[in-house]
Amino acid sequence: MMPEVEGVASRARPGGSRGWGGRCGGAVWLAVACLLALRWSAESETLLLLGATVHPVTGPALTNGAVYVRDGTIEAVAPALDRRADRVERLDGLHLYPGLVVAGTQLGLVEIEAVRATRDTTETGEYTPDVESWAAVNPDSELIPVARANGITHIVPVPSGGVVAGQSGLLALKGWTTEEMMRKRPVALHVNWPSLELEFEARERAGDRAKGKSLAEQAQERRKRLRALQDFFEEARAYARAKEAAVGAGSAGFRPVPAWEAMLPFVRGEAPLFVHADEVRQIEGALGWAETNRWKMVLVGARDAWRVAERVAAQRVPVLYGSTFDLPAGDAQAYDVHYRAPGVLHRAGVMVAFAAGGRRDASNLRNLPYEAAQAMAFGLPAEEALRGLTLYPARLLGVADRLGSIEPGKEASFFAADGPILDVRAQVRRLWIAGEEVSLETRHTRLYEKYRGRPRGR
C-alpha cells in the first residue's frame, strides 16, 4: 500500500474531503475551530465576561474590561459593554490573558520520558520531511491538562531527530480527538542545523590516536553535511518544478514521491522553516543560507543569537528562544547571559517568542511563562515578554489573525488568573478555548484532593 499523501490522495478522489479539513493552497488552513463551535452549539451562542483586567496584548490593559464572544469568536472588547448574552461571567479581581501559544514542545508526543514505549518524539533517518508530528499526539495524555492549567491553550508538537526532522502542526489543548484539536497543519518544517562543533579530543579519546578523526577530517565532514542539507532543498525545488511542468503537461507519467511532496509548501514559501540552531556558527550559517535562498525562516533554540542580533534583525528573522534557562555556554560568559539574551534581541529589533528548551519540556511546559519572566527581570520589556508567549508565536505560525491576543475576530481562547501570569505565585482560575470553558482539573489536583482528604493521625 502506498501511504496516503496529502494532495495526492485528494487528486485521486476529486472533491474528497478528509474529515474536518479543507485545503487552501499548499498548506492546510483550518478555520475549523469556529466551524466546529457552530456545529457543537447548533444555535448562535454568546458569552460576556465582565470585571476582569483585560490584557489584549496588542494594546494597553483595560481595567474592568468586557469581552463579548459569539460562537467561539471574540466579537467585542471594550472598557464597558452593555449587551445581553447567553452567559455572563463576572471575573472581578482577575486578569484576563489570551491563551498561551507554544510554538515548539514535545508535549503530546511523550508521556514518561524514561519509558521508551511512551516516547514518540524522535524518528530515525536524516531527511524525513514527510514525518508529521500531529499524527502521534495523545489527546488523553495526563500531561496536557497540567500544561493547560497554567494558561497554555495551543501547542506545536515538534518532531526531533535527523537534519530535516519532519513537520509540525498547531493544536488546541481541547478536543476529543487530535482532529478536533487541530488548528493548522503543517505550520512548519523542522530543520536541525548540522552541528559545527569540532570534537577536539577525538584523537585523545579514541585511545589509539589513529582511530580518532583529525580536526581537518572533521572540518571536511562538516562541510559535507552542510552541502547535503543545501542539496536536499535544491532537489526539493527541482521536484516542485518538475511537478509543475508535469501538471502543465497533464501529469502524464508523473509519479509522486511522498517526501518531496511534503517539501512543497516549504520550498514554495507557503510555510516557514523552523531552523533549530543554538551555536553562533550554526546560526550564522543558517542566516546566510536563508538569505541566499529567500527562505521564510524562524530560528529556534537560538542560544547564541544575541551575538549576531543585528544581523538577525536585519534579515527580519523571528526567534523562538529556548535557552533562557540554559547555563552559560562558555566559561567566560556572564552568569546571566541567557537571561539577558531575549532583551538584547528585542532591542536589536528582533521579534522574540518563547519556546521550551527541551529538557522536561513536556511535563513542565507549564513553567514556560517563567522563562519569559526571567527575561523580563533581565531587561525584556514586560509587554514584550507577554507577547513572546502569545501574539508572537501566533505570528510566526501564521495564525495571528486567529490567535495570540484578545481582539475582535480572534478565537475566544483566554484565561483568567488572580495575578500577573509571569509571576509564579499567580493562579489560573478559569480558562476558555474557542469560547468553551475548560476544566482546570489535572492528575495533580485529583491526587492532591485525594491525599488531602486522608484521615489524619494514623
Partner 1 sequence: MVVWLGLAWSGWAVELLPAGHRPAPVGWHALVGGKVVVKPGQVLEEATIIIRDGYLVAVGSGIEVPAGAQVWTMQGTRIYAGFIEPYLVLGATNVAVRADSAEAGSLTGGVGGYDFFGVPGQGRDPGGPGPGHAVAGVTPERRAVDAYAIEAKALESLREVGFTVGHVVPGRGILRGCSALVALSDGAPNLAVLAPEVFQVVAFEVNRSRERVFPGSLMGVVAVVRQAFLDARHYASERADTALRSGRGQGQGGGIRPAFNTALAQLGPAAEGRQRVLFEPGSALMMDRAARVARELGLEFALVSSGEEWRRPDLAKGLGATLIVPVDFPEAPKLPEAEDWQQVSLDRLRAWDWAPENPALLRQQGLEVALTSWGLTQRRQFRARLRSALDRGLSEEDALAALTTVPARLCGMAEQLGTVEPGKLANLTVVTGGGYFTPKAKVREVWIDGRIYPVVSEEAGSAKSRGEDASRAGVGGEPKGRAEADAEASRRQRVARSPLAGRGPLVEPPALLIQNATIWTCGPQGRVEEADLFVRGGKIVGVGPQAARQFEEGAGALRLDGRGWHLTPGLIDCHSHSMILGEVNEGTLPSSAMVRIGDVVNSESITIRQQLAGGVTLVNLLHGSANPVGGQNCLIKLRDGAAPEELKVADAPLGIKFALGENVKQANWGERFTTRFPQTRMGVRTFFVNRFTAAQQYLEDWAVYRETGGREPRRDLELEALGEVLGGERWIHCHAYRQDEILTFLRTMEQFRVQVGTLQHILEGYKVADEMAAHGAGASAFSDWWAYKFEVYDAIPYAGSLMRERGVLVSFNSDSSELARRLNLEAAKAVKYGGTSEVEALKFVTANPARQLRIEERVGSLEVGKDADFAVWSGPPLDSRSVCLQTWIEGRKYFDRESAAAQAQALEQERSVLIEKAKQLASAADRGKGAEAESDAGRFWRCSLETEHDGWDRHCTDE
SS3 per-residue string spanning 166-225: EEEEEEECCCCCHHHHEEEEEEEEEEECCCCCCCCCHHHHCCCCCCCCCHHHHHHHHHHH
Grid cell for residue 99: 491563551
Given 94, 101, 155, 362, the residue binding partner 1 (CB under 8 A)? 362
Is 239:254 a contact under the CB 8 Å cutoff? no
Give me the DSSP letters along 302-339. -TTGGGGHHHHHHTT--EEE--TTSPPSSTTS-TTHHH
By rule CB under 8 A, what count of residues binds partner 1?
Answer: 66
Return the residue of 19, 177, 200, 401 that touches partner 1, per CB under 8 A. 200
Instruction: Please give the residues from 109 up to 128 whose contact with partner 1 meets the rule CB under 8 A.
Output: 111-115
Nearest distance, CB of residue 237 and partner 1, angstroms: 28
For the CB of residue 79, give the shortest distance to partner 1 in the complex, in Å: 27
Beta bridge partners of 299: 275, 319
**Which of 211, 189, 184, 187 has its CA nearest to residue 199?**
211
Burial class (CB in 10 A: 0-12, 13-18, 19+), 169: buried
142 touching partner 1, by CB under 8 A: yes
3-state secondary structure of 80: coil
Give the x-and-dash track for 309-348 against partner 1 (CB under 8 A).
Answer: ----------------xxxxxxxxxxxxx-----------
- Identify whether the C-beta of residue 105 lies closer than 8 Å to the C-beta of residue 367: no
What string marks each residue from 374 to 393 as x (binds partner 1 by CB under 8 A) or -?
x-xxx---------------
Residue 331 near residue 351 (C-beta atoms within 8 A): no
Q: Considering beta carbons, is residue 176 or 335 the nearer one to partner 1? A: 335
Q: Which residue among 1, 14, 248, 451 contacts partner 1 (CB under 8 A)?
A: 451
Exactly one of 363, 390, 405, 413 binds partner 1 (CB under 8 A); that residue is 363
Using the rule CB under 8 A, give the single segment among 24-32, 55-63, 259-267, 276-284 that binds partner 1: 276-284
Q: How far is the CB of 319 from partner 1 (least distance, A)?
A: 19
**Cis ω on the peptide bond leading into residue 186 (within 30° of 0)?**
yes
Q: Which of these segments, 46-54, 78-86, 131-139, 355-363, binds partner 1 (CB under 8 A)?
A: 355-363
CA distances from 389 to 84, 178, 200, 251 (A): 32, 23, 38, 45
- 106 near partner 1, rule: CB under 8 A: no
Residue 73 or 106 with smaller CB distance to partner 1: 106
| Residue 22, C-beta contacts closer than 8 angstroms, at least 6 positions apart | 28, 29, 30
Q: How many residues does the chain have?
A: 458
Query: What is the pattern of x (binds partner 1, CB under 8 A) and - over residues 148-187?
Result: ----------------------------------------
Query: Would you tell me which residues interact with partner 1 (CB under 8 A)?
Result: 111-115, 142-143, 197-198, 200-201, 203-204, 209, 214-216, 218-219, 222, 279-281, 284, 325-337, 360, 362-364, 366-367, 370, 373-374, 376-378, 422-427, 443-445, 447-448, 451-452, 454, 456-458
